[in-house]
Amino acid sequence: MLAEPPRPHHEWLDDAAGPVVRPYTLTGGRVRSAADGFDLVAFILAGPQANAADPQLAPEHRRLVELTHRPVPVAELAAELDLAVGVVRVLLGDLLARGLIAVHEPLTASSIPDDDILKAVVSGLRAL
């Protein structure tokens, strides 16, 4: 009879906590709120020097680099990686600190300069 594969055991982990806690081990227990930047609809774009195969990067970092060869907003990255936004913000912060990504924070609605944007939205919606 085959023995069950040994399970990693931490006394502060249980089955219910597993999927929630894992991202924290990934980020060393850090989470970030939107106040630190990385709005849900900020677009992230990998820089030319970012290499998704870089062995120095953790798999999740590499995945982010891979996904952001075109601009992708933070919320979509979190959905794609199936990680909480607070965790993705930390990972993005790591990449930003290494100069591997650029962040394009959105305009806030009140600073949208003219009504052309609203006109474009209405006619775009009408055309749907």
Partner 1 sequence: MDSVRFDRTGAGTRVPLALKILIAGGFGAGKTTLVSALSEVRPLQTEEILTGAGADTDDISGVEGKSTTTVAMDFGRITINEDLQLYLFGTPGQDRFWFLWDELAFGALGAVVLADTRRLSDCFPSIDYFEQRGIPFVVGVNCFDGARQYDLATVRRALDLDPEVPVLLCDARDRQSGKLVLIGLVEHVARQRGEPVPVA
Q: What is the four-CA torsion angle of 90, 100, 98, 39, rounded to 10 degrees? A: -30
- Least Å distance, CB 22 to partner 1, is 10
31 closest CA partner among 108, 90, 112: 90
Strand partners for 43:
73, 104
Cβ proximity to partner 1: between 30 and 98 the closer is: 30
Q: Indicate which single residue of 87, 92, 95, 101 sits in contact with partner 1 (rule: CB under 8 A).
A: 87
- Least Å distance, CB 3 to partner 1, is 26
Dihedral sign from CA coordinates of 75, 77, 80, 86:
negative
Residue 83, token pair as written in the block: 């990680």
Query: Any contact of residue 8 with partner 1 (CB under 8 A)?
Result: no
Q: Which residues bind partner 1 (CB under 8 A)?
A: 12-14, 16-18, 20-21, 24, 28-36, 39-41, 43, 45, 48, 70-71, 73, 75-76, 78-79, 83-87, 102, 104, 106-110, 112-126, 128
